[in-house]
Amino acid sequence: MRGWILGLALSAAMAGGASAADLLIHGGPIYTGVEARPKVEALVVKDGKVAFSGSLAQARKAAPKAQDVDLKGAAAFPGFVDSHAHLMGIGFRELTLNLEGVGSVPELQAKLKAWAEAHPNQTVIDGRGWIETHWPEKRFPTKADLDAVVADRPVVLTRADGHALVANSRMLALAGVTKDTADPAGGQILRDAGGEPAGMLVDNAKALVTAKMPKPSPEQMKEAAQVAVKLYASRGWTGLHSMSVGAADVPILTALAANNQLPIRVDNFLDLDAAGGLLAKGPSADPTGLVRTDGVKLYMDGALGSRGAALLQPYSDAPGDGLILTPPAVISDTLAKARRVHAQIAIHAIGDRGNRMVLDLYEKAFADDPAGLGKARFRIEHAQIISEADKPRFAKLGVIASMQPSHAIGDLYFAPARLGEARLKEGYAWRDLWVSGAHMAGGTDAPVEKGDPLVEFYAATYRHALNGFAGGDWGLDEVLTRPQALSLFTKGAAYAVFREKDLGDLEVGKAADISVFSADLMSVPFAEIPKAHAVMTIVGGRIVYDAR
């Protein structure tokens, strides 16, 4: 039933909506992802699908009237898909105070002050993207830091990973967070020496203030969605698996698709509180096939940077072993419901304890039919720190490891301190999982990261920071080959949402989803990969971005 519904919707997308012209693509290396013919001179696209793959002379004969698309030396690949991102978060990152790259507390203060002065009528200042691990202060920001520049309005600035925030005194007062406020389950209020809230709220404690913030209007949400999908098309992405999706998000995307305003494919994994209909009726797709609702996104633990990732042993640089964000009983109940309607489950797990708990829950949920777990294609999102005993379980159980390579080249500045030398070897184990036979999909976790396919490909294949640095303990033996990395964002992404029959490579008969970059990712020096840019993006045979 699931396959029939989603296949029907994909067929409708190819037949209806904005018509796709026949295309003859040539003029640069074309990597098909098809083992029998991995690299060709030309492609012909008809009715939104790959109709021919081979020599340019034969292609011209096959499609003499097709629109000529000369790549002018750029390289074409099967469509890159971000297997883990937060679509609305990407859009709102561009529309609110963006703190990416802030290098110190004074720089954060300066950006906050400038934003406040430029937006005098904004009742609550909301920003995101700071990360303190590179700062000279070597600490989290505090309410006092924020109060020093904005004391007259509430301020909430979320850490890059989305698992912690800092609020100023005005916001804490508005939310009623005081010395007497208890830590909620799965959350932590960081406190000063006198026991007063210091301004930092971790994981489930964030809701104490976010619940008091004004909700975005429908118009603002539509604008955020439009900004996000246009940005993603311009970076060469042909699709996105959107995580932690709210109930209002899917209708916005469906309306954009109906009006031919959605340039990429979006697969949605709903927040649990938005998943009632999904868990009752199962996965669905809109009439164009561009918008699908596949499953539920849950959280087992927090993030490593804010020490919320659940570890089997305490952190090496601070007391505690992390947080469990969702009670296991709630997860078990959701797994049972999802299994009945053939919905997917994607669970965030970063720490080795968090990953073990998810694997255990998955295995228990299918104790009566172990082979059914692999068929259900349940996922673990991030899968960052995995004990040696648990690494083989992904392949054995059929659990998909949905990983984000750029996390390593950022986290490995601070992960050695959090984990210690011995445990660090558990982390970001791309090659170990690949060799074990696990199914893997690649993503970005944007807006936690930039959301750039070239940065992800570079990180997966080179494992150096963007400035070329790599520490001696960065595990360079865990890099993937270029073909393996390509598979993460193409075939692996398609498999992760039951789309391998239609997407993932450029086999004749499959959808013509194509990403074109200015550099040949399969041969240029590693340092040149993140310097490249998207040249063209084609989705279902439609050119949705063209920078030639």
Q: Convert 310-371 into a string of H (helix), E (strand) and C (coil).
A: CCCCCCCCCCCCCCECCCHHHHHHHHHHHHHHCCEEEEEECCHHHHHHHHHHHHHHCCCCHH
State the helix-helix crossing angle for 87-95 and 249-258, rounded to 10 degrees.
90
Entry pTM:
0.91
How many domains, the chain? 1
Residue 90 lies in a domain: no
Residue 501: domain span? 229-505
Tell me, yes or no, whether 140 lies in a domain.
Answer: no
* Mean per-residue pLDDT of the chain: 95
52-91 per-position pLDDT tens digit: 999 999 999 999 999 999 999 999 999 999 999 999 999 9
pLDDT at 10 (0 to 100): 38
Residue 163 covered by a domain: no
State residue 19's pLDDT score.
63
pLDDT of residue 161: 87
Q: Is residue 199 part of a domain?
A: no
Residue 195 domain flag: no
Tokens for 472?
């001696």
Asked if residues 532 and 523 have their Cβ atoms less than 8 Å apart, the reply is: no
pLDDT at 211 over 70: yes
- Exposure b/e, 277-287, CB count within 10 A at least 16 = b: ebbeebbbbbe
pLDDT digits (tens, 9 = 90+) for 145-204: 999 999 999 999 999 888 999 999 999 999 999 999 999 999 999 999 999 999 999 999
Whether residue 6 is predicted with pLDDT greater than 60 in this model: the reply is no
Q: Could you please report the per-residue DSSP string of 217-243?
A: PHHHHHHHHHHHHHHHHHTTEEEEEEE
Q: Is residue 545 part of a domain?
A: no
Residue 112: inside a domain = no
Concatenated DSSP letters of 470-487: --TTS-GGGPPPHHHHHH
Residue type, 61: K
**What is the model's pLDDT at position 2?**
38
User: 411: domain CATH number?
Assistant: 3.20.20.140
Residue 12, pLDDT > 60, answer: no
Domain presence at residue 466? yes
Q: Where are the alpha helices (H) located in 235-292, listed in sequence order?
A: 249-258, 276-281
